[in-house]
């Protein structure tokens, strides 16, 4: 006859300790995942917005054809960030006119004929845009052909302007200046 003095199984205390450790590890993993997702989605928005500005500048530099009238020609392209019924949208518009000189010193909306709109990107509602360009939408950045410069919200001589995209603690930024230089996207925190 064999007599067993050994315990079979685990005690209640051992089970509670293991379950507590698993819950703590799982909770930390979930929190880390959500922070990662927040950073990644914010970076994607910043890079898409950056790409829209780069695209408008490239269209202007290469004088891409647009549907201007026979008496007008493309003098630039506008990147427009606007509020469309609560949804923020980024558009690229062609700026048509007889010459760039007509555009100088005048209100931008009064001398140009905006060509067809290309909706480039829709900015998610949970993302915030911060910029000293304007406290309200729309933000407008006009890139010109030949001249190669940029007007930011109608200012013909803008200094370097930061555009910051944020969501929660994730913040990404890039700069645009009057010479149409656009800096790379950088993480701020």
Check whether 54 has a pLDDT greater than 60: yes
pLDDT digits 0-9 by tens, 92-122: 888 877 766 656 544 444 344 555 566 678 8
- Cα angle vertex 21, ends 20, 24, to 5°? 85
pLDDT digits 0-9 by tens, 26-53: 888 888 888 888 889 899 999 999 999 9
Burial of 15 (0-12, 13-18, 19+ CB in 10 A): exposed
Given a contact cutoff of 8 angstroms between Cβ atoms, the answer to whether 146 and 23 are in contact is no
pLDDT digits 0-9 by tens, 144-171: 887 678 888 777 777 788 888 988 889 9
Percentage of the chain surpassing pLDDT 90? 15
SS3 37: helix
| pTM score over 0.85 | no
Burial of 36 (0-12, 13-18, 19+ CB in 10 A): exposed
Check whether 178 has a pLDDT greater than 90: no
pLDDT of residue 2: 64
């Amino acid at each position: 006859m064999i007599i067993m003095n050994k315990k079979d199984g685990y005690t209640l205390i051992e089970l509670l300790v293991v379950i507590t450790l698993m819950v703590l590890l799982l909770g930390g993993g979930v929190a880390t995942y959500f922070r990662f997702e927040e950073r990644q989605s914010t970076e994607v928005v910043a890079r898409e917005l950056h790409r829209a500005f780069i695209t408008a500048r490239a269209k202007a530099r290469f004088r891409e054809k647009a549907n201007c009238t026979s008496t007008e020609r493309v003098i630039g392209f506008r990147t427009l960030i606007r509020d469309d019924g609560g949804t923020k949208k980024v558009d690229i518009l062609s700026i048509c006119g007889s010459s760039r000189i007509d555009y100088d010193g005048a209100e931008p909306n009064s001398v140009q004929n905006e060509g067809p709109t290309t909706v480039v990107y829709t900015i998610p509602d949970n993302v915030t845009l911060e910029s000293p360009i304007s406290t309200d939408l729309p933000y407008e950045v006009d890139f010109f052909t030949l001249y190669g410069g940029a007007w930011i919200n109608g200012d013909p001589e803008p200094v370097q302007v930061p555009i910051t995209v944020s969501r929660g603690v994730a913040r990404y930024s890039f700069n645009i200046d009057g010479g149409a230089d656009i800096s790379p996207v950088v993480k701020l925190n």
